[in-house]
Amino acid sequence: MTQTSSFKFRQLKNCKCFKVRRASRLTTQLYDRKLKPLGLKITQFSILSFIATSGKKNLVALAEELFMDRTTLTRGLNILMKRKLIRNINNKDLRKRVVVLTNDGEEILEKAIPLWLEAEEEVFDESKKNNFSVI
């Protein structure tokens, strides 16, 4: 077997994709910890906040703007629907369905924003501590 201390193998430690994914995981964990008291994950918060601020968009437009595949987005939407945080306003064609926040969704988003703001401040400290850059 080739020696793993060779330059070819040592350069793998500098993989940009690995570093970005590591930073993403650390960042996600920080936001998830902050939002945990409300039973939210940052992915759910992101969907709720996007729905609240983007107007009435169908599933395809939401997926494109969130850079999510539709299957992943649908799973997230289903969780939010079960919690009665969002509701459908157009059920005829599920591919064209449009969702809006319910009153409970608006309330939880209001409660989540201060926690999210705390995470926004702390992510800079975490990035320094874990040696990655936050844009």
Sign of the Cα torsion 98, 101, 104, 108 reads: positive
Predicted confidence band of residue 12 (pLDDT cuts 50, 70, 90): confident
Predicted confidence band of residue 56 (pLDDT cuts 50, 70, 90): confident
Q: Residue 90: helix, strand or coil by DSSP?
A: coil
**Residue-averaged pLDDT of the chain:** 88
**16-129 CATH, one of 3.30.420.40, 1.10.3300.10, 1.10.10.10, 3.30.70.580:** 1.10.10.10
* pLDDT tens-digit readout, 58-73: 888 899 999 999 899 9
Predicted model pTM: 0.84
Q: List, as one string, the DSSP characters of 56-88.
A: S-BHHHHHHHHT--HHHHHHHHHHHHHTTSEEE
Question: What is the structure's pLDDT at 15?
Answer: 84
